[in-house]
Structure 1
């Protein structure tokens, strides 16, 4: 091994120690330095096929045999796994958090952002409409201070103006679980596991086929365990192979049945498989010279993914100052005033008609004529741009390729996120909750932050279990539609721009919404190179048919993207990231995987070969038969 490689191994040795709470850092430094000085041979960082070598890799306590593996129980992941199961193939899903559903549950965005044009035309897919109805039917347990019956369905509480459906995150999680169970009737050997982290994969000799996926399940030792709602404190333990005082750990290997094939779908919100394996991808804002987009920045900035958010829930309920007193004890790395300077309701009232409180109100006392007024005993989800959005990218949230290598996460994946950024975002959200209680509560409408095991978000802090990730890594597609590296770009969306392409020949999914960019910032206000001029309302946005090629990564033949990581630009992600776009992409990935395994010809057909073998019409008809929709 060359000197540079030995030095890199030393960095990784130290990085692995840093990832283990309580590990003696001095020991890691000594071992890494001694190896570098002695020239001792270390295990290679990559295998012979050019893919990462996992270290450590414990023996699996459980081996799952799966025809489709879905990484991430996000909204897209639930859509992917359920539609794969409905094709009859054995499907396995792993999800990091305790809840399925992503945006609608553990991420706390249980208020559906939908295209107004699609609502008026009633042209969502039958699959999405059925899932929404399941959410509406979910019972919600209500505390006595609401002065409502102890249990009511979502449909009798939903009373917001962001869209047509706002609900408790717990109801979203329950609906996702029920949806999966119903789909599994078509594939009884399928299985899924929450509280389970992706750890890496192994490939065949060519490096182009994933042969196994590795994961670690955590089992709380205490049956009354409640997540902290402080991911910055929990992330390392959630991903670690090692048991600790809080969790037992179960290593899992997911592989194809004997003699069978396996498809893998990356439906994680930050495209973890893409980042860990380093499939060709982009991160952050794109440069105009790269994409040709009118509103792209003059330079690319990998730091500048869209702002992310920790939602929380406020109630018009007097808790005697308990939550406010707890919030006052939050200690940030920055002066409170620096956080508070970013808060602004942007001219909206906090209560009553057209207000912040009513915007994502998930428990309303009086539907219909009384909907304009905010009332005692109501609850709202807070997800506000000039509030709990975290725009500051110092450090950026998503680790770059260099960060991943130097931290040792290519060998021991720990989520690929900055703990410092997560901590800052958590504090910012909690200080926003404090500010709202302090400045907006009224004698008739007191405010309290809901937290604890019985609260709608199910965390001790009152924050969502994980943040709402608007953007992560985005793959570069293979040659298609006039590009060597397919990427859907701004002109493909805008009615008022020329150069938009017709993706209908290979369309598998549909998205439509405002181009909604939540930008990034540096504290010193230096240029961020965000796409600041790209945001625009949906009446200028043409329906985006998403082609199959946008789901197919480069360099690997049995992987599809089932979430936000598809081949789109930073600007186009502002449309595709919302609820229906993610569902549509995930469902297409799952159904396509099932079709490939059941009906594709030849029997080893991979996703990149569907179009060139003339089988796209057959796949599109199959998707329609599955209750999916990719036309306007």
Structure 2
């Protein structure tokens, strides 16, 4: 598909396929003051959560002439890509297909930002597939702030025109519901305590843990389903609603040879430096060591760490894995050394479940995860084994500026699992898992994911479940290139609230391949268009899926907006 001009990201030339504006559309977000002094905002769409799914839902809504209020708990939009500090986990086809056109335009805008603003060497500046960090995890490893800058640029004209109200550092705390419809959400400023009532025909839960679902009475599932419930090959015999994947508090480091940047010893260092995860099957040993359980075999596997970026034999050098700045891509002297993100097995926090936790429990576990990450940093600086036989790299430096926080740790934990809606259709392992699919499919379809007649997007990632808070080790195996079914975006009962994050109709198992950056974006973008289409046709979203003519028209609509609904054959 032909690459668009960056202006298309801002909606300037994004009119192709746009259907007529609903008669009820607002010229801009309406603002009124209630008798108690609190503000009320009225828009076409209210989106809670400014991560990738929420951002994409906002953009697709705005580009199609809907007004939006977007709330975000932190002061950075962008979710896992920015506030959580995780470079994009993507598949090998991402440059040409397997994501929406807007997502690919966004990726290219990141590259253009570096080429316009940074002193790149000629080879990097002339590389159409520039990877600023050359990290091995992605073809585009970059700084969180650059993604944030592009997203803010994309939203700027809509904020200026009053079509979008962006409420950063606001958390939704209450909902008003009438039967199968949400009437309003109440958002509270995390700085001042100010309350804002948000009303709209449609609401989107794009929070990291599906926090709006319990507030609105939307039916949901958490944790692990049993084999009896889903008949999934890798499901356990007994369901466990409290069994969720580990979360991680990421941070950034660089390396100054000969320097001494050792932090104060973290207060919980003695605990973490001796901690052995209690998992089934067992972990390789102490958490703060250069080993882990191989995700596919669960056998102990050695890892390397060399902050000069050199090879560590046949072992993965963790330094290179999520490297966001490769100094050699920039003019000599721009950077003292490379910059890398620490999101490794050694700082996965497995001792607590955030989903449904009280505020006290939530803070306890997040602070515990921060202590783990700081302990890992201190261990790298003082005890990590060196090739010369010594211990520690005191020149490893915490880059607080990269995450934009006083403590240098990410603004929000990297969340891998959420509440999931009870959906009109649930994606099972037999639909997308390579081995399970081969057991149920016809011989000619064994290597192809199940086709979904109601597909509204596509994606790919292997099924990747990190160790859990209930002592289950990695579950990691091959999947197939999949579609995103509309039925998985539709709650079984509620009519005007939709999911746009990791909270769609997957299972614990299939969440493992639907939870990554480009898929979350694709879900959000489709949801924004779904709301636009449903309002224009004066139907509820599930009517679109249940009506062949409407479904075909909606699929044509999303395809006209640069969304692929099926993978190319071959």
What TM-score range do you get, normalising by the shorter chain? 0.7 to 0.9
Query: Is the alpha carbon distance of 1:294 and 1:498 closer, same or farther for their aligned partners in structure 2, counting shifts above 3 Å?
Result: same
d(CA) in 2 for partners of 1:119 and 1:612? 32
The reply to whether residue 437 of structure 1 matches residue 381 of structure 2 is yes
What secondary structure sits across from 1:212 in the alignment?
A: strand
CA contact (8 A) 1:78 1:180 kept: no
Query: Is the alpha carbon distance of 1:120 and 1:130 closer, same or farther for their aligned partners in structure 2, counting shifts above 3 Å?
Result: closer
Question: Quick one: which of 60, 65, 86 aligns to 1:83?
Answer: 60
1:164-563 aligned within 5 A: 164-181=139-156, 188-204=162-178, 207-217=179-189, 238=190, 247-256=191-200, 262-317=201-256, 321-322=260-261, 324-326=262-264, 328-331=265-268, 334=271, 336-338=273-275, 341-346=286-291, 347-351=302-306, 352-353=310-311, 354-367=316-329, 377-385=337-345, 387-393=346-352, 396-399=353-356, 418-440=362-384, 447-452=395-400, 455-478=401-424, 486-496=425-435, 497-499=438-440, 502-521=450-469, 528=471, 530=472, 534-537=475-478, 541-563=479-501
d(CA) in 1 for partners of 2:566 and 2:418? 27
Q: Report the CA distance between 1:456 and its aligned residue.
A: 0.7
Residue 82 of structure 2 is matched in structure 1 by 105
What secondary structure sits across from 1:135 in the alignment?
A: helix
Residue 17 of structure 1 is matched in structure 2 by none
Query: Is the alpha carbon distance of 1:367 and 1:583 closer, same or farther for their aligned partners in structure 2, counting shifts above 3 Å?
Result: same
d(CA) in 1 for partners of 2:532 and 2:47? 12
- Tell me the alpha carbon deviations over residues 409-432 of structure 1, each in whole angstroms, 9 at most, x when there is no partner: xxxxx6x96222222111111111
The reply to whether residue 620 of structure 1 matches residue 566 of structure 2 is no
The reply to whether residue 157 of structure 1 matches residue 132 of structure 2 is yes
CA contact (8 A) 2:428 2:506 kept: yes
The reply to whether residue 73 of structure 1 matches residue 50 of structure 2 is yes
CA contact (8 A) 1:451 1:459 kept: no
TM-score by length of 1: 0.71
Query: Is the alpha carbon distance of 1:334 and 1:301 closer, same or farther for their aligned partners in structure 2, counting shifts above 3 Å?
Result: farther
Residue 23 of structure 1 is matched in structure 2 by none
Query: Is the alpha carbon distance of 1:76 and 1:461 closer, same or farther for their aligned partners in structure 2, counting shifts above 3 Å?
Result: same
Question: Quick one: which of 3, 20, 41 aligns to 1:64?
Answer: 41
- Runs of 4+ residues over 6 Å off in structure 1: 140-143, 146-149, 441-445
Query: Is the alpha carbon distance of 1:569 and 1:329 closer, same or farther for their aligned partners in structure 2, counting shifts above 3 Å?
Result: closer
Query: Is the alpha carbon distance of 1:344 and 1:491 closer, same or farther for their aligned partners in structure 2, counting shifts above 3 Å?
Result: farther
What secondary structure sits across from 1:549 in the alignment?
A: helix
d(CA) in 2 for partners of 1:172 and 1:318? 29
Q: Report the CA distance between 1:91 and its aligned residue.
A: 1.2
d(CA) in 1 for partners of 2:121 and 2:192? 40
What secondary structure sits across from 1:325 in the alignment?
A: coil
CA contact (8 A) 1:125 1:628 kept: yes
d(CA) in 2 for partners of 1:208 and 1:450? 49
What secondary structure sits across from 2:522 in the alignment?
A: helix
d(CA) in 1 for partners of 2:468 and 2:214? 21
Q: Report the CA distance between 1:148 and its aligned residue.
A: 10
TM-score by length of 2: 0.78
d(CA) in 2 for partners of 1:333 and 1:563? 37
Backbone CA RMSD of aligned residues = 3.3
What secondary structure sits across from 1:63 in the alignment?
A: strand
Q: Report the CA distance between 1:268 and its aligned residue.
A: 0.6
Query: Is the alpha carbon distance of 1:559 and 1:319 closer, same or farther for their aligned partners in structure 2, counting shifts above 3 Å?
Result: farther
d(CA) in 1 for partners of 2:275 and 2:116? 38
What secondary structure sits across from 2:209 in the alignment?
A: coil
> How many residue pairs were aligned?
488
CA contact (8 A) 2:259 2:395 kept: no
What secondary structure sits across from 2:498 in the alignment?
A: strand
d(CA) in 1 for partners of 2:48 and 2:258? 40
d(CA) in 2 for partners of 1:126 and 1:618? 19
Query: Is the alpha carbon distance of 1:72 and 1:115 closer, same or farther for their aligned partners in structure 2, counting shifts above 3 Å?
Result: same
CA contact (8 A) 2:227 2:236 kept: yes
d(CA) in 2 for partners of 1:129 and 1:389? 30
Residue 576 of structure 1 is matched in structure 2 by 514
CA contact (8 A) 2:204 2:498 kept: yes
CA contact (8 A) 2:251 2:342 kept: yes
CA contact (8 A) 1:100 1:106 kept: yes
- Tell me the alpha carbon deviations over residues 504-543 of structure 1, each in whole angstroms, 9 at most, x when there is no partner: 3211122211111102155xxxxx4x4x574114xxx222
